[in-house]
Structure 1
């Protein structure tokens, strides 16, 4: 069964006023349009365009709740759609953030429940008992992000470039940068992970000397030039304008700075600290709202809790490369069962074994399953029930299909 769904973009301040409307051919609201949610998450469940098609249910959340078999269970639990599909449009930086493992999410959720912290409280970390791995597929020509800790050697190179820029000023102030270098030195009894953790905690907690360091780095980054790290220094300048005085400005230098080209994707697993900076993309994640923030935000930051979930290992940029089972099909499948993303750009077949959501971003296609069929055009989206099985796509267009992992 194919049920047409729709939603209204979320008006978060960092959103673009035009990117989602331009992509989907809709009328801009005049407000920032940051995220279009397609799914059954209670925070913004998709509307069912024709409730008569869904036994009178007004939202996808209500319809699934009335018949849990529509989801075949899944990682989020029986009767819950295990993934959430979004179109995300960032014109400025999102908060630095990380997400828990399934075990951490369950323990944290139960702990905060036992403490009597309301679900809508500002200091609530765990809104549900589930993990929130996620991926982003770049739709815009470029999509910029911070993701995961870079190597200590690279971070030290960046700090040395800042020291060189500081020395060229009339009134150099090297001490804060030397303190940062000292923090980044691997202790004889520890590891690089320990040095990153100690440095991160010092910065995020606004420890001794951190406000002075943040001001200095904000001032001299535009003067620094290394060729290799020019993007990092430009990002510092952008963040300093958006969040003056925030320790996330310096923390950004500890992280991988990546620019995706259209068609590339990142996968952000549990424990990976990240922040989207600018661009338009299709985001797919487990259907959870557990976000632990680490700066670049006026929202609640729980330093000890964030430290407990972060993975401090230095990692390369976490690109997610697709498989190509057919010339017009790309499958982006991370190492979790909650979701995978399929991109179809022409005639093809693809088998789904669970619930799915189809979103058309260009052209038009027909989709035929085992039970029924539908046409889908730019800007339209449909919920697909599991019994449709193998889906046949015909036409000239681009359809993104979110479904459960294998």
Structure 2
């Protein structure tokens, strides 16, 4: 086990106290702290402590990939950790974004390299050559907009917004040929040849929301607008949905109110950005602590508020269309957009003896949210209720402690004891490094090489315990 230090990201939308309270070593940071990265991304690798030396995790892996990653992982992905673990604290809404598809990431990365754009340039869109899928698990109440809602819900939300731009978006969603713009269709990717009518209409309406104000159309709705009062008024109208004689279902009413609520919150931070209207087209998501969502490449999303852990493929590629002070790349976002109305995808969440194991179905990553020395570890870890889709299948799902894969262990609270190596029935010590024990307190983290073999996590005695995150591959 190797001590690992996270990389802090002081973005403006971060919290002034949430991550600082989870990781005591960050308490002296001034200003907002948005993310903590645990991983080996070449642009922001975590530092690991090897004896008296400190070096970047990606360099330590390249020096001995067999020891650090194991044979299976190093042969599959080369000398690089295939996942990136983050803790995030969202104080104000952040960017409306999409993560690129694999082939678009490769093409974009090499295109920007050929153009001489530095890897750390603010105007860079592709910082590596990998597509990016991610899973987010709430650590406290977490709100987001993820993917496109059913078209009927999109129409109901937009019709409540008293503005010509929203009305034109409604016409586009309804397939009004007069309202269509060839400029929108020109931005469609080659994959649009396989889209149905609904996907094309959603793309056009979304295009209009994120392109408004950029002079790309000869219509009269591009004037600068303060969207906050308009959205508050729409939210007030939504509060009266479901009155006697109304045809709306409870699902529709709740979806419209929540979508407009997210749009209002975004407009409080970005009142002049028409991209807030795109949130009225999207699924509004509220994740209770311990509940997760999976976001694949091409799915539009925006985080609104809360604290969570993210685990993703080892990529920093983000294409933004609005609600941000960072670089926007709307053309590339549109080339990667998946304009299909679909429910938010939940990762499979398996109840294990001391917490919950999340597996999104990818080989690159999985995550465990664990509890030590709780009377009811499962409920203590996630506040589980009957409404959550947990599965009692731990017998067929090996937990990450038991596999020889590269793992990252973070102590979220309390005090834990992690041990690697064990004595086999034949009396031999398993694990290349022998028997080792590390006592971890809140905020401590270790990288566990594959060569260390299985790890056990407990409280050391009956009076100590805590919660932890354990990241691994999905293999």
Q: TM-score, normalised by structure 1?
A: 0.88
* Deviation, structure 1 residue 75: 9.2
| Residues 146, 274 of structure 1: 8 Å contact kept | yes
| Residues 347, 361 of structure 2: 8 Å contact kept | no
Partner of 1:34: 34
Q: How many pairs align? A: 389
Give the direction of change, closer, same or farther, for the CA distance of 1:25–1:112 in structure 2 (3 Å limit): closer
- After the TM superposition, which of the residue ranges 142-151 and 34-43 deviates more from structure 2? 34-43
* Deviation, structure 1 residue 114: 3.3
Give the direction of change, closer, same or farther, for the CA distance of 1:62–1:342 in structure 2 (3 Å limit): same
Within the alignment, does 1:202 sit opposite 2:266 as a pair? no
Residues 362-394 of structure 1: per-residue CA shift (max 9 Å, x gap):
122222223333222211000000022322221
* Deviation, structure 1 residue 109: 1.9
Partner of 1:333: 359
2:171 to 158, 174, 182: 182
| Residues 227, 274 of structure 2: 8 Å contact kept | no
Distance in 2 (CA, whole Å) between partners of 1:190 and 1:352 is 44
Within the alignment, does 1:388 sit opposite 2:452 as a pair? yes
Q: TM-score, normalised by structure 2?
A: 0.76
Within the alignment, does 1:221 sit opposite 2:218 as a pair? no
Distance in 2 (CA, whole Å) between partners of 1:120 and 1:28 is 26
| Residues 126, 290 of structure 1: 8 Å contact kept | yes
Give the direction of change, closer, same or farther, for the CA distance of 1:179–1:330 in structure 2 (3 Å limit): same
Distance in 2 (CA, whole Å) between partners of 1:343 and 1:363 is 14
| Residues 357, 381 of structure 1: 8 Å contact kept | yes
* Deviation, structure 1 residue 96: 1.0
Partner of 1:351: 402
| Structure 1: runs of 5+ lacking an equivalent | 167-173
Give the direction of change, closer, same or farther, for the CA distance of 1:74–1:264 in structure 2 (3 Å limit): farther
* Deviation, structure 1 residue 293: 0.8
Give the direction of change, closer, same or farther, for the CA distance of 1:286–1:209 in structure 2 (3 Å limit): farther
| Residues 353, 404 of structure 1: 8 Å contact kept | no
Distance in 2 (CA, whole Å) between partners of 1:179 and 1:309 is 24
- After the TM superposition, which of the residue ranges 390-399 and 345-354 deviates more from structure 2? 345-354
| Residues 144, 262 of structure 2: 8 Å contact kept | no
Residues 241-274 of structure 1: per-residue CA shift (max 9 Å, x gap):
2112212111111111111111111111111111
Q: How does 1:6-405 map to 2 (within 5 A)?
A: 6-26=5-25, 27-48=27-48, 50-52=49-51, 56-69=53-66, 70-72=68-70, 73=73, 77-140=77-140, 142-162=141-161, 166=162, 175-186=164-175, 191-206=197-212, 207=217, 208-212=219-223, 215=225, 217-224=227-234, 225=236, 226-227=238-239, 228=254, 229-324=256-351, 326-346=352-372, 350-370=401-421, 371=431, 372-395=436-459, 396-405=465-474
Residues 217-260 of structure 1: per-residue CA shift (max 9 Å, x gap):
53222123324333333322222221122121111111111111
- After the TM superposition, which of the residue ranges 391-400 and 364-373 deviates more from structure 2? 364-373
Residues 332-390 of structure 1: per-residue CA shift (max 9 Å, x gap):
11122111111221379731232110001012222222333322221100000002232
Give the direction of change, closer, same or farther, for the CA distance of 1:123–1:9 in structure 2 (3 Å limit): closer
Partner of 1:170: none
SS of 2:158's equivalent in the other structure is: helix
Distance in 1 (CA, whole Å) between partners of 2:79 and 2:329 is 32
* Deviation, structure 1 residue 177: 3.5
Superposed CA RMSD: 2.4
Give the direction of change, closer, same or farther, for the CA distance of 1:249–1:211 in structure 2 (3 Å limit): farther
